């Protein structure tokens, strides 16, 4: 479990923390989207489900 700090986080620290979290979430999302597109492209290239 995370240790609690003695003093409260300041609004500036909170803003910076949220900015960092948003940045990491955007990067993770782009990685997921890119991986999905690569998989779809590979399936289309190698035949995939053709009837």
Give the DSSP letter string of 1-51: -PPPPSSPPPHHHHHHHHHHHHHHHHHHHHHHHHHHHHHHHHHHHT--S--
**How would residue 4 be classed by pLDDT, with cut points 50, 70 and 90?**
low
Q: What is d(CA 31, CA 12) in angstroms, rounded to the nearest whole number?
A: 29
Give the tens place of pLDDT for each residue, 10-45: 999 999 999 999 999 999 999 999 999 999 999 989
pTM: 0.66
Q: What is d(CA 11, CA 22) in angstroms, rounded to the nearest whole number?
A: 16
46 Cβ partners below 8 Å, 6+ apart?
Answer: none
């Amino acid at each position: 479990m995370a240790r609690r700090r003695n003093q409260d986080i300041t609004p500036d620290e909170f803003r910076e923390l949220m900015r960092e979290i948003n940045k990491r979430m955007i990067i993770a999302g782009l990685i997921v989207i890119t991986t999905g597109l690569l998989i779809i492209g590979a399936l289309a290239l190698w035949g995939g489900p053709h009837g």
